[in-house]
């Protein structure tokens, strides 16, 4: 459902050129590579935060290359959980969907009764779960994940990896993960590409 062809981008040096990528519905893809090779930039080009030099991005056979990020319907999880400190957990979740079912969203990520918690008191893992719940409430067509597990310690990371995978599979939400960790990549995704 997501089809990128001929993407290239350079920032002083060439990051990637003539890159093709396809994502089937419900598929989870992982992209690995060393730091600085342009994985994050690729994700940003897909969701619209950056513009590729050449190439097209098609979502459900529609060219979204000229659309603003807000309109594309592609969600993103960042490396650090980007939670807004002036809002509670519930407040953050409502940013994803004003009228969403907060309770079940939290239940889905295993954080029941966390509604009124102060986001600054959450651990790294808890924060990423909230970020995930929020992104999912926005009902994205594709979910992009930019190394969200790399800042967590290994056991936590692995638990989170399998939990997130099963949530995504349950929802049938296609996703692309970017990581430098091959083990995480293989555990999380159906297929792995390296850059």
Partner 1 sequence: MPEMNIRLSNSCALLAYTLLVILPLWLALDRLIWVAGANPLDWYLSLEQNYVSQGVIQFTFIQALTSTLATLAIGLPIAWQLGRYKWPFQSLTKAILTMPFVMPSIVAAMGFLHIVGRAGLNIRVDDSTWFTTLIIAHAWFNMALVIRFCEPVISTLDPRLEEQMRLLPAGSSKTGRFRHLWAPLLAPSIAAAACMTFVFSFTSFALVRWITLGDNTLESVMAGIGSSAGIEGYMISRNEIVLGSSMIQFTILLLSLFLMSWLQQKRQSLLPQVSEEVVKQSNPKGWTVIGPALAFALSPLIAVFWASFRIRNTDSSGTHYTWETSGWEFAFSSSNSMTSAWDALYNSLGYATLTLIIALPLGWILAQTILDVEKDKPRFARFLDVLTMLPFAISSVMIGLGVMLGMIRIDAEFFYSFWPTPALAHVMITTPFVVRIMLPALRAIDPEYDECGRTLGISKWRRFFQIKLPLLRGSILVAVIFTLAMSLGEFGASWVVTRNSDWTTLPIMIDSLRSIPYNNSLTAPAACAVSSVLMGITLVLFTWAEKFRPSRDGGMF
Q: Which residues bind partner 1 (CB under 8 A)?
A: 47-49, 68-71, 73-76, 78, 80, 82, 84-87, 95-96, 134-135, 138, 144
Residue 76 β-bridge partners: 144
Instruction: Report the residue number, 46 or 111, with the smaller CB distance to partner 1.
Output: 46
**Least Å from the CB of residue 18 to partner 1:** 26
Nearer to partner 1, 4 or 182 (CB): 4
CA dist 13 and 133 (Å) reads: 36
Question: What's the sign of the alpha-carbon dihedral 88, 89, 93, 98?
Answer: negative
Q: Residue 18 or residue 84: which is nearer to partner 1 going by CB?
A: 84
**Tokens found for residue 158:** 């692995």
Q: Least CB distance from residue 54 to partner 1, whole Å?
A: 21
Please identify, using beta-carbon distances, which residue of 15 and 131 lies nearer to partner 1.
Answer: 131
What are the DSSP calls for 109-174, one per residue? TT-TT-TT-BGGGS-HHHHHHHHHHHHHHT--SEEEEESTTTTS-HHHHHHHHHHHHHHHHHHT--
Compare residues 138 and 167 and give the one whose CB is closer to partner 1.
138
Across the strands, what pairs with 69? none
| Min CB(162)–partner 1 separation in Å | 24
Smallest gap from residue 186 Cβ to partner 1 (A): 26
Q: Give 22's strand partners.
A: 3
Q: How far is the CB of 94 from partner 1 (least distance, A)?
A: 10
């Amino acid at each position: 459902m997501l089809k990128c062809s001929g993407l290239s981008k350079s920032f002083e040096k060439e990051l990637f050129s003539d890159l093709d990528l396809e994502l089937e519905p419900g598929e989870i893809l992982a992209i690995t590579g060393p730091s600085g090779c342009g994985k994050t930039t690729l994700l940003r080009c897909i969701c619209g935060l950056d513009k590729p030099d050449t190439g097209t991005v098609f979502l459900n056979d529609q060219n979204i290359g000229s659309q603003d990020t807000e309109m594309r319907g592609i969600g993103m999880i960042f490396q650090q959980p980007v939670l807004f400190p002036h809002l509670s957990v519930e407040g953050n979740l409502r940013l994803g969907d004003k009228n969403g079912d907060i309770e079940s969203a939290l239940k889905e990520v295993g954080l029941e009764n966390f509604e009124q918690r102060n986001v600054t008191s959450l651990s790294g893992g808890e924060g990423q779960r909230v970020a995930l719940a929020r992104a999912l409430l926005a009902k994205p067509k594709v979910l992009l994940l930019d190394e969200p597990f790399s800042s967590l310690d290994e056991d936590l990371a692995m638990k989170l990896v399998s939990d997130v995978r099963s949530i995504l599979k349950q929802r049938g939400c296609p996703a692309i993960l970017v990581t430098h960790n091959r083990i995480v990549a293989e555990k999380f995704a159906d297929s792995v590409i390296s850059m």
